[in-house]
Chains A and B, each alone.
Chain A
Amino acid sequence: MRPDSEPERRAGVETEKVAEALVIRLAGQIDDLQADAVGARLDEVLEAGHIRIVFDLGEVLFMGSSGLGQIMRAYKAVKMKGGCVRIVNPQPLIAEVLGVTKLDRLLKVYPSLEEALQDLQ
């Protein structure tokens, strides 16, 4: 089994510093088989001490409870440092997952990066 063999199944984690925030762009299918790798990458990124995090979920095609768990781990780590986490741009199916699990109450969800950044000021 080669979970990473197909590009649409590979979960991506890219980061970009925008203004005061670190934008983390997740992509692909964040299923249970990808979640640990995504989590490890998030740990790496967050070690630098960023406290304003924006998750851009625009390219995420799938996310189950394992993927949500990794986002919650990141959320907790950032919160402990007194920071905040925003979600932007989720596709409708992903937005629905956030709604069903009521995580959209905890993590503010914005339709665009600009709106999230504005709110972070």
Chain B
Amino acid sequence: MVARVANGGPVRRFVFTWQAEEFCFSMEARHDSSGSDESVERLRRELKRLREEVRRLNDRLGSAGQLEREAIIMERDRTVARKLQESLSPVWPGEFEGIEFAAHFRPGARVGGDFYDIIKVSDTCVGMLVADVTGYGLSAAVIMATARLAFRTFATLASSPKAILEKTNKALLDSTLGGDHLTAFLGLLDSEMLTFQYVNASGRPPYLLREGDLTPLDTRGLFVGMFEEPGYEQKSIQLQRNDKLFLFTDGLIRGFARTDGANALSGLQDCLRENARLPVRELARRVYGQVAREPEDDVVILTVELLRRQADHKTIAIPSIPSELRRVEDTILPALAARGYGERSLFAVKLALEESVINAIKHGNQLDSTKQVTIEFSLCDDETVLSVSDEGEGFDPQAVPDPGQEEYLQSFSGRGLALMRAYMDSVEFNEKGNRVTMTKRAPWHPRKASE
């Protein structure tokens, strides 16, 4: 059995040969002029180490009896398969601004050929791959290694997931592996435009998690490495900040099998919905927590979250002197204006700030200038969060009457809270009633255009 991955342009060539009693592999990696490719270089070093281990095991074969030979071969193949899987672990792609990845991999008892990869395609584009090789053991591991090298090689040379899969398909067909193949899902995420182009080559369709809803991402396309015309269809979706993508292989679903016969996939879906709003690492951890300690099959989870960018976070502490309000306004309002908040939004935030800060100074801290009022603000992509707290006893916001009621209409005071509620998108108090947290959605926010 020989597997080769090569491409015609800048030559990178990887060769594995495997026979019943003889396993060895070699690789050549002549780098193209585009310069260093650290991930391929790292693979080369790791495979070199593995090759030395195989050589050591092969040496033991020479002096062994028949029964012992079989045991050594079994052990060798298992070791190699495991090590291939481990040593080809993905190279973390480095920082992509505003994007966070989380991944888990647990090899199954049978050593399948599941793998994932995160491939830096360009400074703003990252490829996400999840694949599942049919079969188990060394054969699956070798195909996995070959396919992974092919993906990594072609990812930087082809511009679309369809083209990358087609080239990988061709490379595997051209190799002499014969009959073995894999399912794969490959997507390219543009970290600036937030577009996601993807092809599903008969793999498990990943989910888009948006505001608690799950949408499977599927396309037409046959296994990789089996057909001349695999018919890959490419789709593209526009992502938003706060979206998450959840990629996985079949092995994961088994962890959700129910004794009551309920559909295991729906168990996974429920778990995803329940945890959809958690940060992506925690989401992945919770789902992975359902996987058996020693699963029968390989389990792969690869998730990504498009973080809400927090451009600005400030804490301002002022003594309880009303004129300090200016300092708060002069810090916060220009920052909002620079972010594109318009006249009406600025008016709204100024109003809410004045009402909450003056209330904290006069009523919360009773104008005691030794007590502080603390204002925190976070300026995110789609909203601004303000919190104002004082050192006072707090009050019960439920007990404040509606100033618009006839009996209160002529009052000289008592309108602050109503104004805050009218002008901000949310106003919430802590239990004690000495901290108020308010949010104002950005004018361009799709859910509520307030400009």
Contact = CB atoms under 8 A, between A and B. Distances in A.
Given A69-B413, A93-B344, A100 B422 contact: yes
B358 interface: yes
A30 to B, nearest CB: 11
Nearest to A9: B326
A103 B321 CA distance: 29
Interface in A1-30: 1, 3
Interface string A81-110: 000000000000100010011110110000
A22 to B, nearest CB: 21
Contacts of B413: 65, 69
Interface in A64-91: 64-66, 68-70, 72-73, 75-76
A32 interface: yes
Interface stretch (B11-19, B63-71, B224-232, B347-355): B347-355
Contacts, number: 67
Interface residues of B, number: 29
User: How many A residues are at the interface, by size bracket?
Assistant: 20 to 34
Contacts of B398: none
Contacts of B36: none
A101 B323 contact: no
Interface string B405-422: 000011111111011001
Contacts of A64: 351, 354-355, 416, 419
Q: Considering residues B323, B350, B412, B422, which has the most beta carbons from chain A within 10 angstroms of its beta carbon?
A: B412
A97 B344 CA distance: 12
Contact of B354 (A3, A32, A75): A32
A73 B412 contact: yes
A32 B404 contact: no
Contacts of A100: 418-419, 422-423
Nearest to A69: B412
B358 A32 contact: yes
A42 to B, nearest CB: 12
A75 to B, nearest CB: 7
Contacts of A73: 412
Nearest to A93: B347
Nearest to A106: B409
A33 interface: yes
Contacts of A70: 412
Contact of A105 (B347, B409, B412, B422): B409
A62 B326 contact: no
A32 to B, nearest CB: 5
B325 A31 contact: yes
Nearest to B348: A93
Contact of B415 (A3, A31, A93, A101): A101
Given A1-B323, A64-B351, A65-B355, A101 B343 contact: no
B443 interface: no
B235 to A, nearest CB: 45
Given A1-B324, A76-B410, A68 B415 contact: yes
Given A3-B323, A64-B355, A101 B404 contact: yes
Q: Which secondary structure characterizes the binding site on chain A?
A: helix
A37 to B, nearest CB: 12
A108 to B, nearest CB: 14
B203 to A, nearest CB: 54
B180 to A, nearest CB: 69
B322 interface: yes
B223 to A, nearest CB: 62
A52 B20 CA distance: 107
Interface in B377-434: 403-404, 409-416, 418-419, 422-423
Contacts of A103: 409
B108 to A, nearest CB: 62
Given A1-B324, A105-B409, A62 B350 contact: yes
Contacts of B325: 31-33
Contacts of A66: 354, 358
B409 A65 contact: no
Nearest to B403: A101
Interface of A: 1, 3, 31-33, 62, 64-66, 68-70, 72-73, 75-76, 93, 97, 100-103, 105-106
20 contacts: A1-B321, A1-B324, A32-B325, A33-B322, A62-B350, A64-B355, A64-B416, A64-B419, A65-B414, A65-B419, A69-B413, A70-B412, A72-B411, A93-B343, A93-B347, A102-B403, A102-B404, A102-B409, A105-B409, A106-B409
Interface of B: 321-327, 343-344, 347, 350-351, 354-355, 358, 403-404, 409-416, 418-419, 422-423
Given A1-B327, A100-B419, 20 more contacts: A1-B321, A1-B323, A32-B325, A33-B322, A62-B350, A64-B351, A64-B355, A65-B413, A65-B415, A65-B419, A68-B415, A69-B411, A69-B413, A72-B411, A76-B410, A93-B347, A97-B419, A101-B415, A101-B419, A102-B403
The 10 A-B residue pairs with the shortest CB-CB distance in the complex, in nearest-first order = A1-B323, A102-B404, A65-B415, A69-B412, A100-B422, A65-B416, A32-B358, A64-B354, A93-B347, A101-B415
